[in-house]
Structure 1
Amino acid sequence: MNRKVMRQRRKKRRRILFIFVPLLVIVLASVGYGSYLTYKLANATSNANEELGRGGKSDKREQAVDPSEDHFSVLLAGVDDSSKRGFSANGGYKGVRSDALILATFNRKDKSVKMVSMPRDSKVEIPGRRNTDRIAHAHSYGGMDLTVETVENLFDVPVDYYVKLNFDAFLEIIDALGGVEINVEKEITEQNSKDEAKAIHLEPGVQTLGPEEALAYARTRKLDSDIYRGDRQKQLVEAIIKKSASMESIPKYGTVIETVGDNMATNFTFGNILALFKYSKSIDSIENLKLEGYDDTSTGAYYYELDEASVEEVSEQLKSHLELPGYEYNPDDSTSKSEEESNETP
């Protein structure tokens, strides 16, 4: 097998992992107190800080928002890029696609978090491009500036902040945490990160997974389907968050913060990140919104065709959660309504 094919295979498997890494930024922000860790976090944030070309305010906002006072949104982006090439929001983006995109909204009233993941092959309109394209291509065309604009265009909601990370952080974070505890429901045999066949073998039962085992657990799809693989990924997310928040992990925060900081670009300031502390009790009960769609190969190329009704439904929920003008948020109501619709309800 030649090197090009091997690199392509590794990239394909790594895509699923980016959903985990950005969550660590929020977790560490919520527990990263103490003078030493505060210094580490402040230094990492300062080195990673980079504004978008638009400035500090979304074009869909009348004024900039403050996480300590307002509802806000964050776009979490994972790319298969190397920090050695000058990792930044828009530096060296050509040809570098986003391998994972997650939009999270935060409501300051009940400290709740909603999150929606956008499949990388989702067929969308990319501002400035003539034809529809995969959402992952937005980054290769215009870095985080165009990625943010594309997501705003898709859901018609403001993206206030972004966090961009690369794959290098994942294995290092799992290693720094000393592994994570997972209840493996089925026997799994997988390749390792070096493409060595059947190198990883997991028996059913509760066990601590190291970096290589976690990678195999997250990427395997031979057992069932992508839906179940997604469930395993969510299980791993929860395990990472739980381990990060445990007392035994506190001495490891410095290493984890450095790892994330070296592989991150964000327009969050240190003060913004500290404001996330109030969401720490909600971080393990995030509401995941599902974006429905179907596989489409009618053009000869593969796309994930988004269901328009599903996009609209997710958009309405995000608008409500952010309490954008004309919308209200009711935590006890599973459906979101605009103020106009609410007034029409008997």
Structure 2
Amino acid sequence: MKKVLITLGVVILLIVVGGVSYAYYLYHSVKSTANNIYEPVGNHTTSLSNKKPISILLMGVDERPNDRGRSDTLIYMTLNPKTNKMVMMSIPRDTRTEIAGRGTINKINAAYAYGGTEMAMNTVEKFLDVPVDYYIKMNMEGLSKLVDAVGGVTVYNNISWHDEGYYKKGYYYKKGNIELDGAKALGYVRMRHLDPRGDFGRNERQRDVIMAIVNKASSISSVSRYNNILDAIQGNVKTNLTFDEMKSIAENYRGVKNNVENYELKGQGTKINGIYYFIVGDQEKQKVHNMIMEQLGER
């Protein structure tokens, strides 16, 4: 049976750079899923014809009925097929900045609450003075379903804790390598109050789980698993990547997942009028801007 390279990958599963081999008859299911999750916004897009470096904003949101929610997770990602390198840069949700299109100062995660995906993308662009070509938005409940869809993941946990906070699931996360199903993974990536590093520790756990999903999906050979993955994606993920763009990334950018660099914005936490903010100084913003533009190269 003819095989085809298609992924919904590091980007739909964050699946796009996974480089997974699908049986031919799954092609139409993948295409249908890609079409269903496609949601363009504004002028955010670019051409992949010359295999140039691109940027993608990963957003994890907590959406509920009649409530858009806020972007709990923001990861600015660059994919450079020429250097075969991917950079994942976490932006703390409490980062204080101007909300693009409103002219007000607030936490960066408020941009999504005010103006949805487009305002969130525009705010990140304004904050770092960098382009955002594409986005992938995932409801955090969808992350749990994806972990279950790939059969669970294994990550290295830096600290141990009992989950007795908001969710009160009673899970114990030991230090060292741990196996996570969907429910445990959701608790793992949401926890921050029991971590001395706060948001920094949580952001690291989120990146680790994302890459664990990608790597696990890349090794799956079961058709039933792929059907489960597609089901998990439906209704939980939106992106402005078209099906053809996903194929292009799968074919030309998949090598970047073997060379991943993580970066966390540096700054200082403080309270202003009784509200906690994370302040990123001009020097740090310039440093990050330069780092991103170097990764994006000539465009």
Quickly name the TM-score band, shorter chain normalised: 0.7 to 0.9
The 5 Å alignment of 1:252-331 reads 252-277=225-250, 278-324=252-298
> SS of the residue aligned with 1:102?
strand
Asked if 1:103 corresponds to 2:92, the answer is: no
Match among 151, 162, 170 for residue 135 of structure 2:
162
Asked if 1:81 corresponds to 2:54, the answer is: no
With over 3 angstroms needed to count, the CA separation of the structure-2 counterparts of 1:38 and 1:307, relative to structure 1, is: farther
- Aligned-residue identity in percent: 30
TM-superposed CA distance for 1:281, in Å, is 3.1
Structure 1, unmatched stretches of 5+, are: 1-20, 58-63, 86-91, 326-346
Asked if 1:215 corresponds to 2:186, the answer is: yes
> SS of the residue aligned with 1:240?
helix
CA distance in 2, matches of 1:287, 1:205: 21
Q: Is the 8 A contact 2:93 2:108 kept in 1?
A: yes
TM-superposed CA distance for 1:282, in Å, is 2.4
CA distance in 2, matches of 1:228, 1:137: 21
With over 3 angstroms needed to count, the CA separation of the structure-2 counterparts of 1:23 and 1:192, relative to structure 1, is: farther
> SS of the residue aligned with 1:262?
coil
> SS of the residue aligned with 1:105?
strand
CA distance in 2, matches of 1:317, 1:185: 27
Partner of 2:172: 201
Partner of 1:50: 39
Cα displacement string for residues 119-174 of structure 1 (whole angstroms, at most 9, x for unaligned residues): 11111112232331111111122211211111111122221111111122111111
Q: Is the 8 A contact 2:59 2:73 kept in 1?
A: yes
TM-superposed CA distance for 1:315, in Å, is 0.6
TM-score normalized with structure 2 length: 0.84
With over 3 angstroms needed to count, the CA separation of the structure-2 counterparts of 1:46 and 1:321, relative to structure 1, is: same
Q: Which has the higher helix share?
A: 1
CA distance in 2, matches of 1:230, 1:148: 19
Considering only CA atoms, is the larger Rg found in Structure 1 or Structure 2?
Answer: 1
Code of the aligned partner of 2:188:
Y
Cα displacement string for residues 73-98 of structure 1 (whole angstroms, at most 9, x for unaligned residues): 1111121114x76xxxxxx75xx321
Aligned length: 287
TM-score normalized with structure 1 length: 0.73
Partner of 1:225: 197
> SS of the residue aligned with 1:129?
coil
> SS of the residue aligned with 1:158?
coil
Partner of 1:70: 52
CA distance in 2, matches of 1:231, 1:117: 8
Moved more, 181-190 or 156-165: 181-190
The 5 Å alignment of 1:167-206 reads 167-184=140-157, 187-191=160-164, 194-196=167-169, 199-204=170-175, 206=177
Q: Is the 8 A contact 1:112 1:286 kept in 2?
A: yes
With over 3 angstroms needed to count, the CA separation of the structure-2 counterparts of 1:207 and 1:158, relative to structure 1, is: closer
Asked if 1:25 corresponds to 2:14, the answer is: yes
> SS of the residue aligned with 1:218?
helix
CA distance in 2, matches of 1:292, 1:167: 25
With over 3 angstroms needed to count, the CA separation of the structure-2 counterparts of 1:79 and 1:232, relative to structure 1, is: closer
CA distance in 2, matches of 1:157, 1:50: 22
Structure 2, unmatched stretches of 5+, are: 1-9
CA distance in 2, matches of 1:276, 1:228: 30
With over 3 angstroms needed to count, the CA separation of the structure-2 counterparts of 1:238 and 1:185, relative to structure 1, is: same
Q: Is the 8 A contact 1:25 1:260 kept in 2?
A: no
CA distance in 1, matches of 2:242, 2:17: 14
With over 3 angstroms needed to count, the CA separation of the structure-2 counterparts of 1:133 and 1:79, relative to structure 1, is: same
With over 3 angstroms needed to count, the CA separation of the structure-2 counterparts of 1:322 and 1:178, relative to structure 1, is: same
Higher RCO structure, 1 or 2 (CA under 8 Å, sep 6+): 2
> SS of the residue aligned with 1:268?
coil
Cα RMSD between the aligned structures?
Answer: 2.8
TM-superposed CA distance for 1:320, in Å, is 1.5
With over 3 angstroms needed to count, the CA separation of the structure-2 counterparts of 1:134 and 1:41, relative to structure 1, is: same
Partner of 1:344: none
TM-superposed CA distance for 1:36, in Å, is 3.2
Q: Is the 8 A contact 1:68 1:272 kept in 2?
A: no
CA distance in 2, matches of 1:268, 1:136: 22
Q: Which has the higher strand share?
A: 2
CA distance in 2, matches of 1:241, 1:141: 31
